[in-house]
């Protein structure tokens, strides 16, 4: 069946969706002329796409001379070079932040932010349950209790209207995550933080150049943290950064991440005036970062353009619910492009069948995060010596009873993620994603 030739009547008759949903839909059509729904590839039909997707990361050969010159020099640590400092300046400039200090990964950027803001034993931190596990780990690793506020399945972000009910006497901070590179609702989060005198650390590890009302994510709270891991939009393999506008606080970040050595307002009263650790970025890490940073702006623009196009192509397919962006979002980063799958519109086929069918059409995809707060790490933390000493039994029992997040669970059941590299192709490449989804929809009676 060719979607272009699908009449509205035939489409309505074929649809298994609710009357209201179908009635409000427009007839979806194929993005790339000539594509035929045909037989599903998973059933032996011809896939919508066999061409490869853009590779990630992409190496820029012109950076080799710089990287090799650092390697040959033997000056690999930041104390014997200026490359890390140059990269920090460039990244701060790009974000419109006063300062940036790099670490060897994003997890340690977050741990550093927690430490310098004095969040630790006995404190509670409100976080989103829908995030990469590192967000949970840094709170637990700082001996603080990660208190989850439910997820808004429509935006995939922490639901700001669920935050205040989680605040207790011990709440010290909120850690919003701009998950998948889509900004969290920073107006509401900052207003709640102000009202309750809470610190805000933005986990912007997936949100390079994303913006809330024209300001870059990571620069809105007290500190913002980024990851430059292999899959990220500014990939170094491993790498991280902390950005902030408070000079004294950033001096502390610099000092703490460098063994507690004096820096700026952390005065040279002794060799080691404050507690420290070693989380320094390497010179050749920064050299790779300097080469990758060049493409970040144009890649971000392309991802946004293709994401908008993809939404326009799939929004009328029954059972496919594109993500929503809050009104305050002026730019998203699209580390992943998410939508939700409603199986009742797909002949009740479980999401796994839909994912397998889409992959067979040449569109890699995944179901994303599961309800990780039910994984072993939370129970291990609650049973640890640290937690038993810092929180009452009554508090931990209540915490266990509250480990129930229906919005998050719904999203974990329904989400479908498309990788960021797939938004770096042409409009026609993006059209293939839409066409594959439409083809699976049209063959939904063969899915279950």
Ligand X SMILES: Cc1ncc(COP(=O)(O)O)c(C=O)c1O
Which spans of this chain sit near ligand X (rule: CB under 6 A)? 105-107, 131-132, 134-135, 177, 203, 205-206, 227, 229, 240
Q: How far is the CB of 445 from ligand X (least distance, A)?
A: 38
DSSP sequence for 96-107: T-SEEEEESSHH
User: Given the complex with ligand X, which of 156 and 163 has the nearer CB atom?
Assistant: 156
User: Given the complex with ligand X, which of 105 and 159 has the nearer CB atom?
Assistant: 105
Q: How far is the CB of 230 from ligand X (least distance, A)?
A: 9
Q: How far is the CB of 136 from ligand X (least distance, A)?
A: 9
Task: Quote the tokens at residue 270.
Answer: 């002794």
The residue with its CB nearest to ligand X is: 106
437 in Cβ contact with 320 (< 8 Å): yes
User: Given the complex with ligand X, which of 419 and 425 has the nearer CB atom?
Assistant: 419
Decide: helix, strand or coil at residue 401. helix
Q: How far is the CB of 181 from ligand X (least distance, A)?
A: 9
Is the C-alpha dihedral spanning 268, 272, 276, 277 positive or negative? Answer: positive
Q: What angle (nearest 5°) sits at the alpha carbon of residue 354, between those of residues 351 and 357?
A: 150
Task: Quote the tokens at residue 24.
Answer: 């409000």
In the sheet with 215-216, reading across from the earlier edge strand, the strands are 215-216, 211-212, 329-331
Q: How far is the CB of 217 from ligand X (least distance, A)?
A: 12
Q: How far is the CB of 376 from ligand X (least distance, A)?
A: 19
Q: Round to whole Å and give the CA distance between 341 and 415.
A: 6
Among 369, 319, 311, which Cα is nearest to 349's?
319
Q: How far is the CB of 33 from ligand X (least distance, A)?
A: 38
User: Given the complex with ligand X, which of 11 and 87 has the nearer CB atom?
Assistant: 87
Q: Round to whole Å and give the CA distance between 244 and 249.
A: 8
User: Given the complex with ligand X, which of 240 and 319 has the nearer CB atom?
Assistant: 240
Decide: helix, strand or coil at residue 282. strand
DSSP sequence for 189-214: HHHHHHHHT-EEEEE-TT-TT-EETT
Q: How far is the CB of 409 from ligand X (least distance, A)?
A: 19
User: Given the complex with ligand X, which of 206 and 430 has the nearer CB atom?
Assistant: 206
Is the C-alpha dihedral spanning 204, 124, 411, 153 positive or negative? Answer: negative
Decide: helix, strand or coil at residue 173. strand
User: Given the complex with ligand X, which of 131 and 155 has the nearer CB atom?
Assistant: 131
What stretches of 335-423 show up as alpha helix (H) in DSSP? Answer: 351-360, 376-382, 385-390, 393-401, 406-414
User: Given the complex with ligand X, which of 30 and 104 has the nearer CB atom?
Assistant: 104
Q: How far is the CB of 311 from ligand X (least distance, A)?
A: 23
User: Given the complex with ligand X, which of 134 and 307 has the nearer CB atom?
Assistant: 134
């Amino acid at each position: 069946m060719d979607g272009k030739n699908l009449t509205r009547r035939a489409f309505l008759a074929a649809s298994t969706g609710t009357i209201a949903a179908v009635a409000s839909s427009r007839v979806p059509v194929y993005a790339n002329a000539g594509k035929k729904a045909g037989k599903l590839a998973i059933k032996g039909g011809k896939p919508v796409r066999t061409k490869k997707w853009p590779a990630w990361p992409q190496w820029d050969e012109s950076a080799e001379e710089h990287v090799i010159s650092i390697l040959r020099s033997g000056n690999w640590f930041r104390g014997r070079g200026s490359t890390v400092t140059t990269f920090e300046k460039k990244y701060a400039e790009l974000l419109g932040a006063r300062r940036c200090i790099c670490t060897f990964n994003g997890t340690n950027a977050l741990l550093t932010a927690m430490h310098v803001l004095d969040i630790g034993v006995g404190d509670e931190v409100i976080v989103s349950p829908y995030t990469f596990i590192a967000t949970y780990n840094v709170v637990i690793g700082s001996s603080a209790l990660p208190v989850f506020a439910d997820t808004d399945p429509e935006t995939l972000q922490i639901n700001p209207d669920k935050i205040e009910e989680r605040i207790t006497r011990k709440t010290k901070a909120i850690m919003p995550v701009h998950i998948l590179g889509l900004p969290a609702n920073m107006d509401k989060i900052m207003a709640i933080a102000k009202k309750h005198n809470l610190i805000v650390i933005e986990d912007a590890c997936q949100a390079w150049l994303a913006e809330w009302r024209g300001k870059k994510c990571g620069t809105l709270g007290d500190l913002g943290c980024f990851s430059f891991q292999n899959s990220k939009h500014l990939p170094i393999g491993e790498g991280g950064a902390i950005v902030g506008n408070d000079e004294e606080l950033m001096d502390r970040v610099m000092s703490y991440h460098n063994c507690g050595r004096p820096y700026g307002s952390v005065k040279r009263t002794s060799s080691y005036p404050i507690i420290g650790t070693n989380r320094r970025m390497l010179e050749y890490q920064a050299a790779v970062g300097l080469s990758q940073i060049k493409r970040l702006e144009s890649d971000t623009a392309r991802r946004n353009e293709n994401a908008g196009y993809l939404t326009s192509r799939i929004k009328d397919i029954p059972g496919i619910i594109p993500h929503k962006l809050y009104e305050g979002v002026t730019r998203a980063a699209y580390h992943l492009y998410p939508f939700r799958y409603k199986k009742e519109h797909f002949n009740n086929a479980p999401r796994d069948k839909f994912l397998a069918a889409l992959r067979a059409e040449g569109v890699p995809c995944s179901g994303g995060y599961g309800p990780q707060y039910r994984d072993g790490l939370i129970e291990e933390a609650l049973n640890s010596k640290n937690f038993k000493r810092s929180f009452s039994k009554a508090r931990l029992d209540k915490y266990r009873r509250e480990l129930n997040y229906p919005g998050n669970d719904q999203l974990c059941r329904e989400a479908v993620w498309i990788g960021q590299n797939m938004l770096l192709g042409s409009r026609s490449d993006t059209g293939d994603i839409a066409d594959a989804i439409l083809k699976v929809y049209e063959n939904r009676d063969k899915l279950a």
